[in-house]
Amino acid sequence: MRLAIVSSGLALLLLAGPGAAQTPEAVAAAALRAAPVWDGHNDVPEQMRERRKDVLGDFDFRDTTGTGDAAKGVAPMMTDLKRLKAGKVGAQFWSVYVSANLPEPQAVQATLEQIDVMKRIIARYPADMQFCTDSACVQNAWKNHRIASLLGMEGGHSIGGSLAVLRQMHALGARYMTLTHFKNLAWAESATDVPMPQGLTPFGKDVVREMQRIGVLVDLAHVSERTMMDALAVAGAPVIVSHSNARAINHHPRNVPDAALDAIKVNGGIVMVNFFPAYVVEDTRQWSARRAGEEARLKALNIGFPDAAKAALDEWVKANPAPTGSIADVAGQIDYIARRIGADHVGLGGDMDGIDTGVKGMEDVSKYPALFTELAREGWSQADLEKLASGNMMRVLKAAEAYAAAHRNDAPIESPTTF
């Protein structure tokens, strides 16, 4: 952030003369030594389900660079312990995502399975990972040089429309829930489905209230602007947006509009920036629309000949490659949010292993230091980089914990069963 306040120590070095000034690399390294990265969203559990049906067997999380299969078009995973350490990642929200296309009772079961598989991975590497459910545990993990590992549910379908299930997911360790995924729920409007009469229904507002009463962070990634504003209107504790960007830069409906950014600042929350090109770079989003249009045209021209349509589309993509953006584009997203609502309200939510590619320079979890160097080069101070890394997320979690503690004696919100 170009207007960031330079720390007094750095100011003294600058006064000492050009030769004494810290390099961007040194500023970034110092920030990451003081405050390891706390990433808001990683989909390793989804990879376990898709690649291995949650059977770990001989799976080795220390190094997953050999997990690809070029013949089948399967890329290697983006995450492993070796690369997490190289990336200076000290805390991670692991997403226990399951498909929003599942019937809700099945989604509840699948979410339980995803919680289980991630807990089993964490337990396999006790010297490297520590299962955490609160801020004190995160700090203890850092003290012991372990990656604090927290769980987040991606989509309200994971609770099957039941506050009782929500409370039981909390008891199992889930510490955030994204209100929707790509599809609407009966009680919440997604950013990428048909419009509903409202963002949150009265029951949806009760979901937000009950989440905050028990200490589950409200996550506004994937939801519509109306859902964002409805949730913020009833929220008593800070919210998160675990893996989204600024809509002013990339107009994808998944991203956060300025009005919601401003409301998140008032709420005390945090927007954690995503690395997926289609959400980072507007040109990539426009390319995706052109590709969809070309695909529809070719299918119409080749009715009854799907192989010909596919071959023609492959040729079009080869001649018109997707723009991937770069690490500078991610830095631009972060900088915009920080200039709009302050460096206290931005974080990182890379969506690694939930996306097929990151922007150039952010291809896996080892790349965070390069991003911090880019931001330092643009004028970010060490103090603001420390907030971005994990200081802001720690503040939000502690505030949510304090709110839950203050409401510990409140009666649970009740709702009738539906079958």
Rounded CA gap, 165 and 152, in Å?
Answer: 15
Is there a catalytic annotation at residue 145? no
Residue 41 known to be catalytic: yes
Beta-sheet strands, E only, within 258-409: 270-273, 346-348
Catalytic residue among 39, 46, 154, 401: 154
Q: Which helix (H) or strand (E) holds 84?
A: helix 81-86
Q: Which residue is catalytic, options 170, 222, 252, 345?
A: 222
Catalytic choice (46, 80, 104, 181): 181
- Which are the contacts of 209, defined by CB distance < 8 A and separation ≥ 6? 234, 236, 413
Q: Alpha-carbon distance 276 to 281, whole Å? A: 9
Does the annotation count 222 as an active-site position? yes
Residue with tokens 């598989």: 117
Question: What separation, in Å, do the N-terminal and C-terminal C-alpha atoms of the chain show?
Answer: 53
What is the residue whose two structure tokens read 């120590």?
Answer: 9
- From the candidates 41, 170, 252, 345, which is the catalytic residue? 41
**Residue of 219, 351, 353, 386 marked catalytic:** 351
Asked if 384 is an active-site residue, the reply is no
116 is catalytic: no
Q: How far apart are CA 196 and CA 170, in angstroms?
A: 28
d(CA 35, CA 195): 41
- Interior/surface letters 267-297, b for 16+ CB within 10 angstroms, e for the rest: bbbbbbbbbbbbbbbbbbbebeeeeeeebee
Torsion angle of C-alpha atoms 294, 296, 301, 307, degrees rounded to 10:
90
Options 243, 252, 345, 386, the catalytic residue:
243
Residues that are catalytic: 41, 43, 154, 181, 222, 243, 351
